[in-house]
Amino acid sequence: MRVSGALSTMCTNEKGQTVSEPLEAQLALVATRLLQHADELVAAQLRVTGAIGSYQVVPQSEVRPSAYRNVVRVVRALRGEDHLPVGVAADERETGRRRALQGVPGADVLTAYRSCVALLRDAFLRVALAGATPADAVLLGTQRIWQLGDHYSSELLDGYRTAELDLARRAEQQQTILLAHLLEGTMTTDQLVAAGIGFGLAADKHYWVLRARSDGTDPFALSRRLERAAGAQDTALVGTYGGDVAAVLSRPITGDLTDDVTVGQVGPTGLSQLHAGFAEATQLLEVATRFGHRGIVDHSRMALRLAVAKEPELGRRLHARYVEPVEAKSAIGEALLATVETYLTLRRSIPEAATALSVHVNTLRYRLERFAVLTGADLQDTDTVVEIWWALQYRTLCESPI
């Protein structure tokens, strides 16, 4: 907006800032000279981006229009045209989106853009100095160029991050779908290899499959926790499944987990056997949960308890022989059964069992003798001890929620 009268040498730019008309005129003159060298400036920007390794995947036919837009934007900014066309911001967001899809790292995208802006700033300084442009005009022009760069670098990164998030969501969806196919056995081995090539799946490799559950952590947070526990893996498919977390890994998890997590883990198994492996991992998890076990459980840790779960008829018979008489005939039946179970757990050590139960050793001996009388069991006989242990484990299984 022009102002008449005594202030005729001043004008107000689009930001409402008062700027000397001679300064604006000087900057407009430099801007015009820069635009005359647009082709050279575009070529220089192409050389800058071409020197960045990750930009080798970006066709010059895409970079060239962006470089030309950079020149035009700098020219318009020097002329005080702060409100650039609406499409300019959209252009930068689209450029950022394209670079993300092409796999160019965000840091390289920002480096390329700022390097191009710096190149145009240097070109402005050369033209300004060659034309003996006043220092105040040079300073104002430099400020405008950097403000322009800061603003549109934000737009560029916004577009990049949006595309990056979209890609991440898409990859996570693809991973979840592939994981479901693996665990449910709904694809052939060839189909799995073709679909899982980006996840490191191969027919000649072996994998560990697991299913995890936590009382205090939601499945999505548990997924992240398992990914951290798994560490670096050639293959790591982790996702939610049926309210739990399932995973296919190239190596087993061996690190510590929090006390509220139980993981059934099976492996190594071939790609075509992952469905069967997951069924085993699910069974391990269910049995471990019912027995109150935490941490990572596999067949070596749960073999006997799996047998108890698979043989309910045997469990009922032993329960009737060693548990029911104690519950029916003794007022302290619960204490007697807890004493026997602790005694067996602690390698039949009376002192250790007494300490664990906080009772005198004579009290412990009395309870063991009372149990023997009620059941007719010989606690020194190995076969009998195995049967009693089985009966007590079956009792635990029956009392736990399914």
For the stretch 335-348, pLDDT in tens is 999 999 999 999 99
Residue 5 has pLDDT above 50, yes or no: no
Which residue spans of the chain are classified as CATH 1.10.10.2840? 311-399
* Widest pairwise Cα distance in the chain: 120
Average pLDDT over residues 161-188: 78
Instruction: Compute the average pLDDT of residues 179-199.
Output: 82
203 vs 235: CA distance, rounded Å: 13
Asked if pLDDT for residue 1 goes beyond 80, the answer is no
Q: Strand 10-12 relative to strand 18-20: parallel, antiparallel, unpaired?
A: antiparallel
Average pLDDT for 56-63: 87
Length of the chain: 402
Instruction: Say if residue 3's pLDDT is above 80.
Output: no
Model confidence over 354-369: pLDDT tens digits?
Answer: 999 999 999 999 999 9
CA angle 125, 128, 133 (to 5 degrees): 135
> How does pLDDT run across 91-135, given as a tens digit for each residue?
777 887 788 777 888 888 888 888 998 999 999 999 999 988 888
Q: Which CATH architecture has domain 311-399?
A: Orthogonal Bundle (1.10)
Question: C-alpha distances in angstroms, 254 versus 134, 240, 286, 297, 394?
Answer: 70, 20, 20, 11, 29
Instruction: Write out the chain in H/E/C secondary structure.
Output: CECCHHHCCEEECCCCCEEEHHHHHHHHHHHHHHHHCHHHHHHHHHHHHHCCHHHHHCCHHHHHHHHHHHHHHHHHHHCCCCCCCHHHHHHHHHHHHHHHHCCCCHHHHHHHHHHHHHHHHHHHHHHHHHCCCCHHHHHHHHHHHHHHHHHHHHHHHHHHHHHHHHHHHHHHHHHHHHHHHHHHCCCCHHHHHHHCHHHCCCCCCEEEEEEEEECCCCHHHHHHHHHHHHCCCCCEEEEEECCEEEEEECCCCCCCCCCCEEEEEEEEEEHHHHHHHHHHHHHHHHHHHHCCCCEEECHHHHHHHHHHHHCHHHHHHHHHHHCHHHHHHCCCHHHHHHHHHHHHHCCCCHHHHHHHHCCCHHHHHHHHHHHHHHHCCCCCCHHHHHHHHHHHHHHHHHHCCC
Between residues 266 and 190, which one has the greater pLDDT? 266
Q: Which residues contact 162 (CB under 8 A, 6 or more apart)?
A: 93, 96, 97
pLDDT for residue 7 is more than 60: no
Contact 285, 261 (CB under 8 A): no
**pLDDT tens-place string over residues 17-58:** 545 578 888 889 999 999 999 999 999 999 999 998 888 888
Mean pLDDT over residues 205-216, rounded?
A: 91
Place of tokens 């002329």: 79
Dihedral sign computed on CA atoms, order 84, 88, 92, 95: negative
CATH annotation of 5-166: 1.10.490
- Where do you find CATH 1.10.490 in the chain? 5-166
Q: Is the pTM of this model over 0.85?
A: no
